[in-house]
Amino acid sequence: MKNRLQWWAEVNDWIPKDQHGFRRGHSGVDNMTGLFLMVENAFRGSRDVLTTFLDVEGAFDNVNVDVLLERLASLGCTRRIVKFVQFVTRERLIFTEGATTAMRLCKGVPQGAVLSPLLLRTTFRSAWEAADPAEGVAALESAIETLGENLDSIGLGISPLKTKLIRFNDRNIQPGRQRIKIREHVVSSCSHTKFLGVIFDYRLSFKEHINYIKKMHLNNEYHEIFVWHILGITPGHSRSTIDAIRIVVETARSAIAACVLAGVLPLDLEADERARLYEIGKREGVLLDRNRTMERMRSLDDWQRRWTGSNKGRWTVKLIPDLKPWVQRKHGEMNYYLTQLLSGHGCFRAYLCRFGHDDLATCPSCPTEDEDAEHVLFRCPRFARERESLWNAAGQPLTSETVVAYMLSSHLGWAAVSSFASTVMKQLRIGERTRHAG
């Protein structure tokens, strides 16, 4: 029923084109984008933007059902649709705890129901049409007054106490210096307000939003969710993937190598991809699987160029020169020891010495060579037995160019390298502790 009514509303232009949210091709993101672009364009022309964020008090709970049904009938809805809406709005019962009788609701639309936003917008239709955009304080107050009267006529009303006023400007005009009057209440301009989950400040710097996110990040209860969200991790990711990311993030690894080892697209590339998909969906009216695949391939190409040209994480670049086979693999989970071996950051003396955690960078068995990941994996005689076992499993000696290809070739290949990493890194860890204890 919701889809039928939505189609009818769009075909018959019930809803103004500039209204967004709960509409195909008219996301709430468009509202934020529109506000941002409006203010940004005004700043370019050295102009201010006086903006009010109005709150309709108890909007869903106070919809006048008679007005709603009359509106639907006047717009040409079939009798069947009108009767259905009448049923879902008037045939609702509420039971209070411990009560033996039910109370019938005679107004409002059910909050959380898929049909309710469209019904609310239908009720608002004439009120919004009568309130044209305004320029200047007097015109703004007049437009709000007209809107308030129109809402009063359908049983709704503006809440002045929840209304926010912001004078967006880049001329150091401080909050509080601008005022408007709504009915008998005076509303002063404020420094910021939250709009659709984003905090807009009067300078459009988003500093308040960043501080809010940082505060939430420091909140222990929110920390895990925040980190997963920033890294693009969802509960569907394996525990080992999350552990690998933690190992990488909590040490001194380069961010670009961290993302590669975890197989997670860098945040900025993820944001660009989502923006492109959003524009495609808005333009085409539908988002197909092939669109998602093409845009992901484009993101991987951008990531590959960045990876190849990076001067960080060069050991990992040497092992994984081509990202696509690694990121798109169907098997193989990262773990603590494998992450250390492939990143080169762990109990290697060359790495520890670089950060002042060891006196020497050289290998205790090979005084002419530094003890780094490459030396341990391919040359150090201390691990000859483990290396021979790995070479036998692979059927040939491995090099920095072939070791990851062997891992990706089969489950057994991955397990063999992972076993080597686990055994060797544990021995290196014991050696480090022994040196520190001595």
Task: Give the pLDDT confidence of 388-424 residue by residue, as tens digits.
Answer: 999 999 999 999 999 999 999 999 999 999 999 999 9
SS3 40: helix
Count the alpha carbons within 13 Å of 47 in the hemisphere toward its beta carbon: 11
pLDDT of 2 reads 76
- Name the residue among 214, 187, 188, 213 with its Cα closest to residue 198: 213
pLDDT of 26 reads 73
Q: Cα(17)–Cα(217) distance, rounded to whole angstroms?
A: 38
Phi, then psi, of 104 in degrees rounded to 5: -85, 130
pLDDT of 228 reads 46
Element (H, E) at 369: none
Residue 56, beta-bridge partner list: 158
220-230 helix and 207-218 helix, angle to the nearest 10 degrees: 120
pLDDT of 251 reads 44
Amino acid letter at 256? Answer: I
- Name the residue among 224, 62, 223 with its Cα closest to residue 152: 62
Residues 6+ apart with CB under 8 A from 184: none
User: Is residue 85 a contact partner of residue 119, using CB atoms and an 8 Å limit?
Assistant: yes
- Name the residue among 401, 349, 414, 339 with its Cα closest to residue 375: 349
Amino acid letter at 106? Answer: C
Task: List, for residues 23-32, the tens digit of each pLDDT value.
Answer: 776 777 788 8
Distance (Å) of CA 145 to CA 130, 139, 167: 11, 10, 19
Task: List, for residues 249-287, the tens digit of each pLDDT value.
Answer: 444 446 788 899 999 999 889 988 988 888 888 777 777
Of 213 and 329, more confident: 329
pLDDT of 358 reads 92
Task: List, for residues 344-368, the tens digit of each pLDDT value.
Answer: 998 999 999 998 999 999 999 999 9
Question: Could you tell me the two tokens for 235?
Answer: 């509960």
pLDDT of 240 reads 55
Q: Cα(289)–Cα(68) distance, rounded to whole angstroms?
A: 39
What is the percentage of the chain residues whose pLDDT exceeds 90? 37
Report, as an integer, the average pLDDT of 65-81. 80
Report, as an integer, the average pLDDT of 99-105. 68
SS3 200: strand
> DSSP state, 422?
H
pLDDT at 248 over 50: no
Question: Could you tell me the two tokens for 359?
Answer: 């006196």
Amino acid letter at 245? Answer: I
pLDDT of 244 reads 52
SS3 119: helix
Distance (Å) of CA 140 to CA 137, 161, 162, 179, 228: 5, 17, 17, 11, 43
How many angstroms from the chain centroid is the CA of residue 81? Answer: 37
Confidence class for position 230, pLDDT limits 50, 70, 90: very low
Of 332 and 58, more confident: 332
Question: Could you tell me the two tokens for 151?
Answer: 């809402």
Report, as an integer, the average pLDDT of 309-337. 94
Report, as an integer, the average pLDDT of 226-249. 49
Task: List, for residues 135-194, the tens digit of each pLDDT value.
Answer: 678 888 888 888 888 888 777 888 888 889 999 998 888 898 888 888 888 989 999 999
User: Is residue 371 a contact partner of residue 362, using CB atoms and an 8 Å limit?
Assistant: yes
